Every structure is written in C-alpha cells, then in structure tokens.
Amino acid sequence: MTANIKIALAGNPNSGKTTLFNALTGARQHVGNYPGVTVEKKEGVCRRQGVTMQIVDLPGTYSLTGYSVEELVARSFIIDERPDVVVDVIDSSNLERNLYLATQLIELNVPIVLAFNMSDVARHRGFVFDIPKLSQLLGVPIVSMVGSRNEGIDELLKMVTEAARSGETPGTCRIRYGSEVEDELARIEAHLDPQHDLVARYGKRWLALKLLENDKEITELHHSPEVLAAVQFSREHLAAVFGEDPEIIIAERRYGFISGACQEAVQSSTELRHDMSDKADAVLTHPILGLPIFVGLMYLVFQLTFTLGEYPMVWMEHFLAFSGESLSAWWPGDPGPLHSLVVDGIIGGVGGVMVFLPNILLLFLAIAFLEDTGYMARAAFIMDHIMHKIGLHGKSFIPMLIGFGCSVPAIMATRILENRRNRLTTIMVIPLISCGARFPIYMMIIPAFFPNHRGLMLASIYFVGILLAIVLARLLRVTLLKGETLPFVMELPPYRLPTVRGLLIHTWQRGWMYVRKAGTVILAISIVIWAATSYPKMDAAALQNMTPEQVSTAELQHSVVGRIGKTLAPALKPLGFDWRISTSLVGAFAAKEVFVSQLGIMYSVGEAEEGGSEALRAKLQADYTPLQGFCVMLFCLISMPCVATIVITRQETGSWRWALLQLLGLTALAYVITMAVYQVGRVFV
Ligand code: GDP
Ligand code: MG
C-alpha cells in the first residue's frame, strides 16, 4: 500500500528551504511558475519507505499578511491546495523572527511541522532549545536539523508522515490577542454568515482576523454591508483605545506570543538582547529580581490608592452627609418612615458603597496603566510558576488583584482565562481576597483590640485571606475541578505608552460595574435591610424615658434582623459571638461594610462619625477580648460573600449551583475555621 502525501515547504528567505527541497527530491524536480504570476514554483517527488511525497517549495516569505505577491501566492496555495502537511523551515539561529511566519501558519489551522534548521549555527551562538516544551506551547511537532549536512531529515520525514496521518492541527485559537481585540473578533465573527462560501473557505476566525487587519485581498472580497460596518466600527474602536492601527496591535501580540514562548523554552548563554523591550524584560522578568520588583510595584499601587484616595473619599463622605442633611431640612412635614427609608436606608446603604468609589477607581486606573503598558503580562509571567503550583494559571492573578478593590469586577475579569476549570476555580476563591468593603470592619476592630500592632494585624488578615485562597484553589483543582492545565504561551507583548483614552475607557468599564452594583443590587438590598431593621415597630409607650440612642437599640432588637440575630446567636456562640455580633453579621450579608454601622446601632452609638467610632471602640474593648475581635475579622473575611458577589458569580458561571456552593461552602469554611481559632485560642489566652 502506498500513501501519497502533499507537502508544502514554507519559510523565511535563506532559512534553507531549497537545500532541504533538493535533499528530499534529488533529481525529481520540476520548475515552473505559479499561475498568472512570475513567481517560481518548484515541485518534486520524494519516495521513502513506500510513501510518495509530493513536495512544493513555496516562495520564501517573512509573513503571510498579503503585502507582496510571494506572500499571497504562499497563502493561497495553502488555503486552496490544502497540502496534507506544511513544513515550516526555520532558521533557528534567528528564532524569534522566523517564528512570526509560524504564528500565521498556525492560524491557518493546517497540520504543521516546524523544522528547526541551522541548528548548528544556533548551537554555535549559544542557544539551547527546550524542544518538547516549545512544541507543547506552540502546539506543533518540532524537529531539530542541519539541512546542509542531511542531519535530521529522517526524523523530519517521520514527523511529516505522522502529521499527515493524524491530520492534527494546532487549533485556531492558540494565539490570543488580548481581551480588546478578542472582543472585536467575536463581534465581527457574529456578523459572518456560517453558510457563506467565504466562511467555508477561510474559517470564521481567520476571516475576522484578516478583516480586522485590513488585509487587502480579503477585504476586497464580497462581504455583506453589516460585516463591513462591523469591521469599520471595530477598527475605529481599537484605534481609539490603543492609538495605533489594529494591524500593528495584532502584529505586536503575535510577537508577544513568540516572545513569551521563547522566554519560557529558549536559553541563551550569550546575551543577544537588543531592543528596549528585551532589555526591560531582562530585568522585569528576571527569575530572581522579577518577583521583588513586582511585589514592590504592587505595594506602591496600594499605597498610592489609599493615600491619594483619602481626599476624594472625605469629599464623598461630606457630600453624602450633606445630601442627607439637606434632604432632611427640605422634607415637608414630620420625618416619617419614607424619610427614614430615603435617608437611612438608601443614602446610608448605597452611600456606604459609593464612599469607596474613589479608592476603587484609583486602583483600577493603576491596574489599567500596568495592563496597557504591557507590565501586567510580565507580572502574570512571573506569577505563572507560582500559580501553576496552586493549579492555576499566571493570568488568574490579575482578577485576584482586582479583588482587592471589589469582588464584582474581579469576577468579571476572569473572562481573560480561557480554561473553564481555571476560571471557575478563580471565581470561587476571589471572595477570600479582602475587598475594599472589608476594610472598614478591620479599621473598626484593629485599633480597638490591637492598637500597638495595627500594620501587622492588617497585613496578617489580608495574608490569611490570600493563603486560604491558595489552599482552597489547590483543593478545588484536585477535587471538583480536577483536570490538567496544559501549559500555554504567556504572551509578552512589547511595552508601549498607554493612551489617556485607553486608560480612561478601561478604568471606567470596571468602575461602572461597581457603580451599577451600588445602583441596583445594593439599592434593593439596602431597602430590604432597612425594612428588616425598622420593622416591626415597637409600642411607643415602651420607648418612653429612653434616650434617642437607647430607642434605636431597642427597636433594632425588636426588628426582624434583631430576631434573626438572636435566633442565630446560640449557633454562633462556639465562635465567640454574642447576639449583637450575630445581628450585625446578618446585615453584613447585604454588603460587608454594613456590619460596622449595625454594630454602632447595637451599642447605641449614634452615627459612625469620628467621635462615634471612638465611642464604639471603647464599648467593644469593654465587652470583648482581642481573640473575639480577631474572630470577627476572620469570620467577616471568609464567610458568605456579599449578595452582589453571589449574583455576579451566578451570572458569570451561568448556574446557581456554583453561586450557592460559593455561598454555603465559604460560610461553612468560615464557621469551622473561626470556631477552631476561638476554641484553641481560648486555651492559650
Ligand atoms: P532558502 O532561501 O530558504 O531556499 O535557503 P537555501 O536553501 O538557499 O540556503 C541558504 C544558505 O544556507 C545556503 O548557503 C545553504 O547551504 C545554507 N544552509 C542550509 N541549511 C543549513 C544548515 O542547517 N546549517 C548551515 N550552517 N547552513 C545551512
Ligand atoms: Mg530558495
């Protein structure tokens, strides 16, 4: 039985294609022209071990973008003639540059074998390739060879026959272009008619990509007006965000893909790095220096967020207090339940979340800056090794970072993760990262019980959260969300100066989610909580001879929330919590920061002003031990994420199952851990 295989040889000029072609075909060659153009076409036949191979030597090109006749000829040959295997001959002594063509061949989604030719020269220049790793990252078989000395040719032929037999392709989505470009690709793809013969010929993703790149040949084909309009919209949008033409961004991402793969799997004994990006990467992704630099930068970001955020936060507080007061002053007639609903319920509840908006916007701005300059890709690269040990991917790190601001946009940011199991794991553990709303709880408790170790305690509670997130993620990855994480390329796109517009768009997109959360879920919950803390009302007679503070305490105890709190109290006793804390925890389910104001009411300490919080701290000190204080922080950290988080988890995972698992699982975990800490702690303290 004789198999017949069609092979196309592609490669950059001078990579050794003709040398290989001659070695394979010997005398059985035919030289002609590609139809209609004066580009030389060499064809030949090679017979080995009962396999007949028809080989075409494609014109040498650096790319397949379609700017030159050679590129167009090579591209249409692969698309229209459908060779069984494309062998990309690569000058491996000049790997990164030669791989650019490989990325485009990969996208054509045909079976490919990479021939790392000139490996003698590469070795001489001090390069060491981790071939199995590179092959895994790029998703194609690779063979090392020296064409001019006939070395590696047998192995190449073996791989070619195997590739032709299996017909395996690297997959169209191997190279990702970052969320902005991917969003636009999806938009264009959505407009492409699957029945259209262009789609059948080229494939949706490739067609969308070429349209976005403004590929001349592809753009001039017959497209529907909707498709062309979508393309124009997407191109303009990307140009506005990046301040560059989309084709430049796309090319950069391809280089980023290559650069990431090479950083991972190529070692060079002699430093051959030359351009600015490479020089910066030599330091920023350095195996030893990289991590401390990254940690230092993150520290700076948080420091900046909190110090700069202080000013607008105070303005925001003043503004909210002012709105409440002016409304009260303007209110016609006696302030009744409606007044209470608006001022205490809505302005108080929604305002409690909006107060953190400046902080959160600053954090998002800093993150957008790090993302848009290209540094975040390096951070993910550095974290990749560590994250792999947890069973996650380096990119999971970015949503987790956003989680320090607010879990809601953090969970939405997990969309950058391609692997579903990775994504689900990340979503499940994000609530363990202390969000901005936990901060007021810590700031209430720490000064009251640990006045001399404020920084240490704050750092520890954040650290406990991170540690738990790591442990839980690891646990999920070996149980519910078991499955291999295939290594794939961590892109390292070149550094670039972000555009102001791009920064603002990115900051706003995430900030808007936060505002929307305040405006919808939190608004609704605030009303419910307000009602549950105000009703049922007490008999007016019972409240006589009480100070206004005592009245609110008594009313809260009498209310629905107070009753739930009292009912729950016995169950929370092993954790060191009394009915006051239990009641406040019920409120905290709506939004974590509600805990503080509820505790204030429980202790009849008016509004949580400066003097108010001091008074509350004094009462806490009198009633609880530092161990109990710590347990409250621990429980607030781990237990049930706020309602908005549960809702967004439902939305992003597409099922209530994960949302409920998150809610119940984390609450159970909080219960067990807090109880253990309290019971063990009591023995020692
Ligand atoms: P093409 O432009 O891709 O067709 O490249 P050629 O086959 O014409 O090769 C360009 C030059 O590289 C020739 O001088 C070859 O002898 C040389 N060459 C080809 N393969 C190798 C190799 O593996 N190692 C070395 N050192 N030289 C090679
Ligand atoms: Mg040649």
CATH number for the domain spanning 124: value is 3.40.50.300
Instruction: At 314, list the tokens.
Output: 């105070």
* 536 in any annotated domain: yes
Digit-coded pLDDT (tens) for 333-373: 777 788 878 877 777 777 766 777 887 788 889 888 988 88
Are 301 and 268 members of one domain? no
Residue of 12, 14, 151 with the most ligand 1 atoms within 8 Å of its CB, for mutation? 14
DSSP for 585-640, please give it: HHHHTT-TTHHHHHHHHHTT--S--HHHHHHHHHHHHHH--HHHHHHHHHHHHHS-
If you take atom 9 of ligand 1, which residue's CA is the nearest one?
16
| Minimum CA distance residue for ligand 1 atom 28 | 148
Peptide bond into 536 cis (omega under 30): yes
pTM for the predicted model, two decimal places: 0.69
In-domain check, residue 172: no
* 154 in the same domain as 15: yes
- The Cα–Cα gap between 317 and 338 comes to 22
Kindly give the distance from the C-alpha atom of residue 71 to the centroid of ligand 1, in angstroms, as a whole number: 20
- Both 470 and 394 in a single domain? yes
Q: How many domains does the chain have?
A: 3
Buried b (16+ CB within 10 A) or exposed e, 513-528: bbbebbeebbbebbbb
Of the three residues 113, 132, 166, the one that is the final residue of a domain is: 166
Question: Domain for residue 353, yes or no?
Answer: yes
Q: How far, in Å, from the CA of 405 to the mean position of ligand 1?
A: 56
Distance, in Å, from the CA atom of 263 to the CA atom of 278, rounded to the nearest integer, reads 10
Ligand 1, residue 13: give the atom nearest the CA.
Answer: 2
Q: Which helix (H) or strand (E) holds 56?
A: strand 51-57
Ligand 1 proximal residues by C-beta, below 6 Å: 11, 13-19, 60, 117-118, 120-121, 146-148
Q: Give pLDDT tens digits for 121-175.
A: 999 888 999 999 999 999 999 999 999 999 999 999 999 999 999 988 887 778 8
**Ligand 1 atom at shortest distance from the alpha carbon of 119:** 23
Q: Looking at ligand 1, which atom is closest to the CA of residue 19?
A: 7
Ligand closest to Cα of 115 equals 1
How far does the centroid of ligand 2 lie from the alpha carbon of residue 388, in Å? 43
pLDDT in tens, 441-459: 888 888 889 988 888 888 8
Alpha carbon nearest to ligand 1 atom 2, residue: 14
Q: Which atom of ligand 1 is nearest to the CA of 12?
A: 3
Q: Whose CA is nearest to atom 19 of ligand 1?
A: 16
Q: Is residue 640 part of a domain?
A: yes
Q: Are residues 115 and 182 in the same domain?
A: no
Where do runs of H (alpha helix) occur along 430-578? 439-449, 454-478, 500-517, 523-534, 548-558, 560-572
What is the 60 CA–ligand 2 centroid distance (Å)?
7
Q: Is residue 171 part of a domain?
A: no
Question: For the segment 230-271, what is each residue's pLDDT rounded down to a tens digit?
Answer: 999 999 999 988 888 999 899 989 988 998 899 889 987 655
| Regions of the chain where pLDDT drops below 50 | 1, 606-610
Q: Which domain holds residue 447?
A: 295-684
158 and 194: one domain? no
Q: How far is the CA of 14 from the centre of ligand 1 (A)?
A: 6
* Nearest alpha carbon, ligand 1 atom 17: 16
Contact 636, 588 (CB under 8 A): yes
- Residue 289 resides in a domain: no
Nearest to 264 by CA among 431, 348, 373, 377: 377
Which of 166, 197, 214 corresponds to the end of one domain? 166
Q: What local confidence, expressed as pLDDT, does residue 476 receive?
A: 92
Ligand 2 centroid to Cα of residue 70, in Å, is 12
Q: Same domain, yes or no, for 237 and 125?
A: no
Exposure b/e, 549-586, CB count within 10 A at least 16 = b = eebbbbbbbbbbbbebbeebbeebeebbbbbbbbbbbb
Helix, strand, coil shares of the chain as percentages rounded to 5? 65, 10, 25
Check: CB of residue 513 under 8 Å from CB of residue 426: no
Same domain, yes or no: 276 and 133: no
Which of 14, 19, 87, 144 to mutate to test ligand 1, by most ligand atoms within 8 A of the CB atom?
A: 19
Question: Which residues are placed with Cβ below 5 angstroms of ligand 2, an ion?
Answer: 18
Can you give the pLDDT at residue 610? Answer: 46
Instruction: Report which ligand 1 atom has the smallest distance to the Cα of 15.
Output: 3
- Domain shared by 227 and 122, yes or no: no
| 604 and 626 fall within a common domain | yes
Question: Among the atoms of ligand 1, which is closest to the Cα of residue 146?
Answer: 23
Helix axes 69-81, 95-108, angle to 10 degrees: 40
Q: Percentage of the chain with pLDDT > 90?
A: 33
CA of 660 to the centre of ligand 2 (A): 63
Top mutation candidate among 148, 149, 153 for ligand 1, by most atoms within 8 Å of CB? 148
CA atoms within 13 A on the CB side of 415: 14
Give the closest ligand to the alpha carbon of residue 20.
1
Q: Check which CATH number belongs to the domain holding 280 and give it.
A: 1.10.287.1770
pLDDT at residue 329, rounded to an integer: 83
- Taking the C-alpha atoms of residue 404 and residue 536, their distance in angstroms, rounded to an integer, is 37
Cα(275) to ligand 1 centroid in Å equals 27
Question: Considering the domain boundaries, does residue 173 fall inside one?
Answer: no
Helix (H, G, I), strand (E, B) or coil at 45: strand
In whole angstroms, what is the distance from residue 147 CA to residue 170 CA? 25
Ligand 1 centre distance from Cα of residue 15 (Å): 6
Q: Measured between alpha carbons, how far is 593 from 604 in angstroms, rounded to an integer?
A: 18
Say if 124 falls within a structural domain: yes
Instruction: Please tell me whether residue 62 adopts helix, strand or coil conformation.
Output: coil
Residue in the block written with tokens 């391809």: 254
Could you give the CA distance from residue 253 to residue 270 in angstroms, rounded to a whole number?
A: 26
Ligand 1 center to residue 577 CA distance, Å? Answer: 78
* 345 and 443 in a common domain: yes
* Beta-ladder partners of 115: 89, 143
Helix axes 594-602, 579-588, angle to 10 degrees: 150
Distance 124 CA to ligand 1 centre (A): 16
Q: How many CB atoms lie within 10 A of CB 23?
A: 17
Assess whether 518 and 589 both reside in one domain: yes
Domain termination residue (choose one: 284, 316, 331) = 284
Domain co-membership, 110 together with 85: yes
